[in-house]
Structures are given as C-alpha cells and as structure tokens.
Amino acid sequence: MIKLVSFKICPFVQRVTTALEAKKIPYEIEYIDLKNKPQWFLDISPNGQVPIMQTESGTTLFESDAIIEYIEDEYGPLEANVTNEQRALDRAWSYLGSKNYLTQCGTMSSKDEQTFKQRSEKLINLFKKVEKQLTGKTKFFKSDQLSNVDIAWATLLHRAAIVKQHNGFDFLCGLPKVQAWQQAILDTKIMDKTVSEDFRELFTKFYLTNTYLGEGKDVQQSVGCGTSSCCG
Amino acid sequence: MIKVISFKICPFFQYVTAMLEAKKISYQVEYADFDNCLFELSPNGKAPLLITESGTVLFDADAIVSYLESIGGNLQQGGNPEEKALIDAWANYGSKNYVPQCTTLRSNTEQQYQSNLAIFEKSLINIEKQLTNDPYFLRGSLSKVDIAWLPLLHRAWLVEQHTGLDFLVNYPKTKAWQKSLLSLPWLENTVSNDFEHIFTDFYLSSGYLVKK
C-alpha cells in the first residue's frame, strides 16, 4: 500500500491526501514531528522535507507537485481526454493554489495587525483572481466534476472555512463565486478524511491561538517562530 | 509560432527558453519591463508567459515547461510513472531554488548573505548526493532536471567569472555538471544578447557580494 510521511498541519500533504481520497485510493500515513525529524525519515527523504510518499514498489517520491502527477499517471486521471494546452492551464491554476499555501500559512500566523493586513492582502488578491475566473455556472472550478484544480485549492478553501467557523473571519468576504466553490468542495464530505482526527484542534492551537487572527489583537512575538515554521 | 514574454533577468524565463532550445522548438521572444501591464494578463502576475500557436496564454514556468516537455520527443522523460515523478521532483526542486539564489546574490549585509546562502546551499548539498560522474543528471541523456538546474548553474558561473566566488567549490559533481551544461551548443540562445551586462548590473554592482 502507498505510504505517506508528513506532519499533521502540512498543507502540501493535504493536497496529496485530497487527491487520494477523491480517487478512493487506499494509503497509510505516518506523522512525524517537524521539530524533531527522525533519522529514518532523513535517511530516505532526498531533501529533508515533507511530504514524501513510498510507492507500492518501495520507491520514495518527494515534492508534492511531483507526487500529484505520479498519482495521476499511475492510477489514472480524474478527468479523461484533457488536451496538452488545457493540462498546462490546469497545472498553472493548480500551482497558483499550491504555491500560495505558505501565503495562507504566513497570513494566519501573523502576530500583529500590520503584518496580518499586509499578508492577507496578497491572499485576498489571490482569491479575487479566482473569483474572476470562476463562471458561477458549475459546482467546481471547471465543471460539475472534481478536477486537479479543485484538489489543489481544496486545502486553501478548507482552511479558510475552519477559520470562518472558528471566529467568523472570512477571507472570501465579497467573493460569492469562490464562496460557492468552497461550499461545493465541503459538500463532497472528502475534506474531513484528508486530515488527522485531531486536525482542528491542532490547527486552532497553531494558527488561532496567540496570533492576530485568533485573538483579534496584536500578540507577543514568540522567539524563533516565523512563517518558516509553517512547513518543510 | 510560440511566443514567450518576459523580462530579461528572470531565471524562470531561462528555464522556459532552455526547454524550447533543448526540444528544438522555434519561438519568438518579447521582452518587457518588470512592471509591464502585460503581466496583468497573467493570473499570477508573473513572468514568463507563453502564447501557444493557437493563441492560448499559458502562465507559471513549471506548468509551461511541463507543457513543452509533453509536445514532441527527444528528452528523457522516464520510462514509468515513478521515474517520471522523480524527474519532476528534482526539476521542481531546482526551480524552487531560483528565488533563494536570487536573494543570496542580492544580499546587502554579511548576516543576510549567510542566512540566504544557508538556504540556497541546502539544494547544492542535496543535488551533489544524487549526481553521478555522468555528464547529465540521468546518465547520458538530457532531461528536465538538467534544464531546470541550468539557470542556477549558469548564474553561478557568471558570479564566479566576475567575482571569483565559486558557489560550487565544495561540490565537485555539481561543478562537473555545470561544465557539461555550459557546453550545450544552444546555451547562449537561452538569454538575451546583453544578458551578462544586465546580470552584472542587477546582481554584481552593489550589495554584499561586491563589497566582499
């Protein structure tokens, strides 16, 4: 069986588990401690970063973008008959999502209002770009079926939903098409399966405690902790 | 004909042109300034953009390069999904280090330089472990991994020419790899004619590297 190694809060592994859940591919997952990476992990990970994936034949793959492509090649695409050009556009829109996981992470981790405003502006501009792209006529990004673009953005939209449920702050405020897209993804009931059982608790502790977003006011900067602690 | 739009200094542009050259695909280039409104065409607001023969505007260098890789043959693409995934991973790992190399070169103080270099150098440590004594990443044949690392190694060479500082001094296999990539016959086509001048002006006219 496929085995993933990651840590619980990592958005990059959530993209991979979303792809696996959407395709109903069985897998195991082992979580490690980001601050204390075990030696066996360092021995098999080519760049020391999570997630890594061990295939059924025992090869270790790394880089979540490459793992996503592997799942598509090995287990078949989510959508059939996509042209090369369309595939390039789908990849570009997917990367626009996944390359902003750290933007979202950094925004949520901000300690004071000024940093939060500066970082959230970038994140909100990103959602505005998608608002322009969405037609509003389909449930998901491209059609009524899930595609790779939905898989990449599901992580961002799921985390935005948790924040909204927690304290009412909506990164998608004023963006009705993105909000509808978010709801459609949540309605698939896949998202809860893509994270560990204690994910909400850990997420709340990590992003919504002792942060500007969590407390609604500036908080004390803890020593040695910045956006770089988000992943990797 | 395929058209690429970018500004001259951009390493992601060189990633795309290197792929076009390696695949012998003909293309035109339109250079624009950093802040050109053309980039507003692009959902990510970044260079480069590629306009396909049918007029579709593609964005994101990684996506563009994968597109180019998929049209036509003549590059090593991996015989099975695992090999292909490893090529993708090592190529993406290269392109993810363009920004760390850029910030290292642009550092103003020694402290900034050392902390930026530590990030960039991790990539050299990790790639050195993967390389063999063959000219390219995958034995004898050129792959997307070579193409992705070419901008990093080309820029490292320009820095060495101008300042004597060799980022690869402790990485002999990477150094040998740099040499084989720099001898690719089409290397100079991947950048503008005045690239060396623009590069030294942008990276090597002020900042810590020059003061050093």
Which of B19, B69, B77, B86 to mutate to test binding with chain A, by most A CBs within 10 Å of its CB? Answer: B86
- pLDDT the model gives residue A224: 39
Which positions ≥6 away from A10 have C-beta within 8 Å?
A: A50, A51, A231
Strand, helix or coil for residue A226:
coil
Eight-state DSSP code of residue A221: P
- B22 and B63, same domain (yes or no): yes
Q: Does A31 touch chain B (CB under 8 A)?
A: no
- B12 and B107, same domain (yes or no): no
- pLDDT the model gives residue B206: 87
Amino acid making up residue A215: E
- pLDDT the model gives residue A205: 92
CA dist list (Å): A151 to A61, A70, B47: 19, 14, 25
- B92 and B44, same domain (yes or no): no
- B26 and B95, same domain (yes or no): no
- B100 and B18, same domain (yes or no): no
- Single residue among B44, B70, B96 that ends a domain in this structure: B70
A140 vs A146: CA distance, rounded Å: 6
Domain count, chain B: 2
Burial label for B146, CB within 10 Å (0-12, 13-18, 19+), is buried
- pLDDT the model gives residue A227: 38
- pLDDT the model gives residue B6: 92
CA distance A215 to chain B (A): 31
Q: What is the pLDDT along chain B (212 residues), one digit of tens a residue?
A: 999 999 899 999 999 999 999 999 999 999 987 667 666 767 887 889 999 999 999 999 999 999 999 887 678 777 899 999 999 999 999 999 999 999 999 999 999 999 999 999 999 999 999 999 999 999 778 999 999 999 999 999 999 999 999 999 999 999 999 999 999 999 999 999 999 999 999 999 988 988 87
pLDDT tens-digit map of A109-129: 999 999 999 999 999 999 999
Phi, psi angles (nearest 5°) of residue B70: -80, -15
Instruction: Sort out which chain A residues have CB atoms less than 8 A from B123's CB and list them.
Output: 47
- pLDDT the model gives residue A226: 38
pTM for this entry: 0.92
B97 vs B120: CA distance, rounded Å: 7
- B20 and B121, same domain (yes or no): no
pLDDT tens-digit map of A23-48: 999 999 999 988 889 999 999 999 98
Eight-state DSSP code of residue B188: G
Domain around B149: 81-211
Eight-state DSSP code of residue A35: T
Q: Does A74 touch chain B (CB under 8 A)?
A: yes
Query: Nearest CA to A95 among A83, A105, A87?
Result: A87
Task: Nearest by CB to A85, from B52, B60, B122: name it.
Answer: B52
| CB-side neighbour CA atoms (13 Å) of B100 | 17
Query: Is the Cβ–Cβ distance between A231 and A12 less than 8 Å?
Result: yes
Query: Nearest residue on chain B to A85, judged by CA atoms?
Result: B67
Q: Which of residues 93-112 of A touch B (CB under 8 A)?
A: 93, 95-96, 99
- Would residue B76 count as lying in a domain? no
- Judged by CB atoms closer than 8 Å, whether chains meet at A85 and B84 is answered as no
Query: Is the Cβ–Cβ distance between B41 and B49 less than 8 Å?
Result: yes
- Judged by CB atoms closer than 8 Å, whether chains meet at A70 and B85 is answered as yes
- pLDDT the model gives residue A225: 37
- Single residue among B26, B47, B70 that ends a domain in this structure: B70
Task: Nearest by CB to B66, from A59, A74, A91: name it.
Answer: A91
Query: Is the Cβ–Cβ distance between B144 and B87 less than 8 Å?
Result: yes
B2-6 and B27-31 strand pairing: parallel
- B89 and B163, same domain (yes or no): yes
Q: Which two tokens stand for residue A19?
A: 């792809």
- pLDDT the model gives residue B71: 86
- Judged by CB atoms closer than 8 Å, whether chains meet at B130 and A62 is answered as no
CA distance A201 to chain B (A): 31
Whether the per-residue pLDDT at A190 is higher than 90: the answer is: yes
Instruction: Sort out which chain B residues have CB atoms less than 8 A from A102's CB and list them.
Output: none
Query: Nearest CA to A211 among A124, A116, A144?
Result: A116
Q: Which CATH number is B40's domain given?
A: 3.40.30.10
- B58 and B160, same domain (yes or no): no
pLDDT tens-digit map of B113-145: 999 999 999 999 999 999 999 999 997 789 999
- Measured in residues, chain B has a length of 212
Q: How big is the CA angle at A78 (ends A32 and A57), to the nearest 5 degrees?
A: 50
- B31 and B128, same domain (yes or no): no
pLDDT band per the 50, 70, 90 thresholds, residue A221? low
All structural domains of chain A: 2-75 (3.40.30.10), 101-220 (1.20.1050.10)
